[in-house]
Amino acid sequence: MKVAIGADHGGYELKADLTKVLESLGHEVLDKGAHQYDAEDDFPDFAAPVAAAVQAGEVDRGIVLCGSGVGAAIAANKYPGVRAGLCHDTYSAGQGVRHDDMNVLCMGARVVGIALAEDLVKSFMAANLEADEPRFQRRLDKVTAIENDQISKS
């Protein structure tokens, strides 16, 4: 699978570790930055390119890291078609994909340690939408309808 990853200064070090994990699992990683540590950078500058890559179909999934993960999730969810979830437990990281077709995983590098972050990525990347379950598609269709309604209002 092809995955984009991005992080501000809060997640910069963790991004390097997770890139290695993703590659060891056989995934192709597209690094959207930061490419050097800058204590003054901002999470939208890295969440946006990851979300744009997912939206455009350039990658299958995305991962965005910041200090808490909250800002990254907010920024990524501004892109139509992106379903970013903030996850700090393995159940949500997998279930978000299986039930909600989550395509961007957001994490707080100041909230999770490396071992848990690795497990979150593994859970996220191993999961697939349970498309044979009608209720999950019905719910996804409702979310898409809300998104389309908001787009038409802008």
- Note the pLDDT tens digit of each residue in 76-116: 999 999 999 999 999 999 999 999 999 999 999 999 999 99
Distance between CA 48 and CA 118 in Å, rounded?
23
Active site residue 99: yes
Of 80, 35, 90, the closest CA to residue 105 belongs to 90
Position 133 scores a pLDDT of 87
Active site residue 66: yes
Please say whether the structural domain 2-129 has been given the CATH code 3.40.1400.10.
yes
Spot the catalytic one: 9, 27, 35, 66: 66
Helix, strand, or coil (residue 37): coil
Q: pTM of the prediction?
A: 0.95
Would you list the domain boundaries of the chain?
Answer: 2-129
Spot the catalytic one: 27, 87, 88, 99: 99
Position 132 scores a pLDDT of 86
Position 153 scores a pLDDT of 87
Strand ranges across the sheet with 104-108: 28-31, 2-7, 61-66, 104-108, 84-86
**How do residues 109-135 score in pLDDT, each as one tens digit?**
999 999 999 999 999 999 999 988 889
